[in-house]
Structure 1
Amino acid sequence: MPRSAALASFVQSTPPGELNDVTKAIKSILGDDSSVTQDLQPHFEQYNEEQFTAVKLPGGSEEVIVSAHNTLGDGRYYDVASQSSFQFDHATQRASAVQSYVLDSNHSDLIKSLVKSLSTHTDEHYAKSSSGVYPIDDDSALAILTVASKYSPSNFWNGRWRSQYIFTPGSGTLVGFIRVDVHYYEDGNVRLLTDKTVEVKVGGSAGASEIVRAIALAEKRYQEDLNKAFASLSEGAFKALRRQLPITRQKIEWEKISGYRLGQDIGGGSRR
């Protein structure tokens, strides 16, 4: 495999919150020189845009999203809520050079209403999240993004929720996806990756509140589906894969499986 393709594979498969660790590992193998940094740069950019990396602006209190939908080119991005643009360093994931930015769109009123309604929705349902709404495709559609990340490296797990919906006023459709990525790596290496497609007809004259209600319903249904899948896994496939006795030599209480910590309780790892 060519070096560039290998680097792309390493970076693009990085779990949430672990890009710095992967970068250090790559440089420890290839050497920390300018050629490695240069080769990594385009992969960092692709990773950050696809992951909807959230960054706090200098002097700001809220995190804003970096994506392909709000790029201005040359490493600059804009945010509707703060009415600002900023420079983003994809290697360090830091923002700088904040400037005022005025949105230019025929859907400005709808976008601003969506920003407000979407923020209310995410604040209610996610512990820490960022969201954004951006005009795309020559102002013929709107990209509605949400990202919620939670990192706990001291407990060996990190996770991220991403959702993207494209609302097209001309057809009244809301099409997108929901992606969940959770990595658990204490006494093992377990990763959950999901990808759910969403398609809803809301009507071309739908207002911000109606669009966000459709989003909220789709996300609620998906969360319920995930809960059912976990319940099925613990009662079915996971139970079938177990050894007769775990490393602890104690029988597993399967009716309490949802309360176990995978690495410590089942694998016999140390407790904290």
Structure 2
Amino acid sequence: LRAVSVSSEWTEGTQRENKSRVIVDASSSHSLASTITDEIKPYREKYFSHKNVSFKHSVSDGGNDGELILAIEADLASASNFTAAQWCATWSIQPSSGSPEEVTLEGTVKVHTYNYEDCNVQFAIQNTFGPKSGVEGTAFAILKQISRFDQEVFDGLTTEHQEASSTGLKSLRRILPVTKTKMEWSVLAHRFVHALEEHTNNAATAE
């Protein structure tokens, strides 16, 4: 799939004022380009309506004849929850050779989540979908199929999180001392520095 550049004119201030930004290729003569933009609002409200999420999408002509590229990016930043995440999807929409009223849909979804509350836990996944032929060539039907693919990603994220909580993180706990107390990393770092200073002072005195 051809990469589609999305405008970086996105500041913290504009995120708060306008969470949805659309870029439509002015040179695109594809009949779906404008209708996808019209239909994407309910899609955004269903999946990316959280107050801390900024949402952008672009629609442009692809490299093949009649191909349309839909790029979607959503970014979550929640300092109060010590969480950040990014969702990047690129979809290729091509007319089906067998039927002019149908399209073939394929794409890639990349997700990166990051939690940094007393830890550093990150998940990075990539899912490839399609080619899915026989999709009705309307913006509504295309976004409905994309929503089905998205749901598979959400389900996979839930499974990964559950497996990490039940197996991955527990395996790390086995090699750590069982203190049954919360690890205070800042206090531990302070004590470590203090111990190093004492060791340095003692070594200097001994000399």
Same fold (TM over 0.5): yes
Q: Please tell me the residue identity of whatever aligns with 2:180.
A: Q
Aligned in 2, Cα 1:185/1:54: closer, same or farther, shift over 3 Å?
Answer: farther
Stretches of 4+ aligned residues off by more than 4 angstroms = 51-54, 244-247
Question: CA offsets, 1:208-257, max 9 Å, x none?
Answer: 1111111000001110121112112222232222137667x217xxxxxx
2:18 and 2:167 map into 1 onto residues whose CA distance is 45
Q: Is 2:37 the counterpart of 1:115?
A: yes
Q: Which has the higher contact order (CA 8 A, sep 6+)?
A: 2
Amino acid at match of 2:36: L
| Structure 2: gaps of 5 or more residues | 98-102, 187-207
- SS for the counterpart of 1:178 is strand
In the TM superposition, residue 125 of structure 1 has moved relative to its aligned partner by 1.2
Three-state SS of the structure 2 residue aligned to 1:111 is: helix
Shift of 1:147: 1.3
In the other structure, the counterpart of 2:191 is none
**2:166 matched to 1:166?**
no
Q: Distance in 2 between matches of 1:115 and 1:153?
A: 31
Q: Closer, same or farther in 2 for the Cα pair 1:225/1:53, shift >3 Å?
A: farther
Q: Alpha carbon RMSD of aligned pairs, Å?
A: 3.3
Structure 2 partner of 1:195: 126
Matched residue type, 1:213: K
Q: Is residue 29 of structure 2 the alignment partner of residue 106 of structure 1?
A: yes
State the Cα distance separating 1:122 from its structure 2 match. Answer: 1.4
What letter matches 1:250 in structure 2?
Answer: K
Instruction: Evaluate the alpha carbon distance shift between residue 208 and residue 236 of structure 1 in structure 2; reply closer, same or farther with a 3 A threshold.
Output: same
Superposed counterparts of 1:204-223, under 5 Å: 206-223=137-154
Percent pairwise identity: 23
Asked if residue 55 in structure 1 is aligned to residue 55 in structure 2, the reply is no
Cα offset, 1:53, TM superposition? 4.7
**Amino acid of the residue matched to residue 183 of structure 1?**
Y
Name the counterpart of 2:56. 130
Q: Which runs of 5+ in 1 are unaligned?
A: 1-45, 66-78, 81-101, 252-264
Preserved CA contact (<8 Å) 2:28 2:60: no
Shift in CA distance, 207/244, structure 1 to aligned 2, threshold 3 Å: same
Q: Any residues of structure 2 matched to 1:221-232 within 5 Å, and which?
A: 221-232=152-163
Work out which of the two has the higher radius of gyration on C-alpha atoms and give 1 or 2. 2
Aligned length: 172
CA distance in 1, matches of 2:155, 2:18: 32
Q: Secondary structure at the match of 1:191?
A: strand
Deviation at 1:174, TM superposition (A): 1.2
Which residue in 1 is equivalent to 2:21?
64
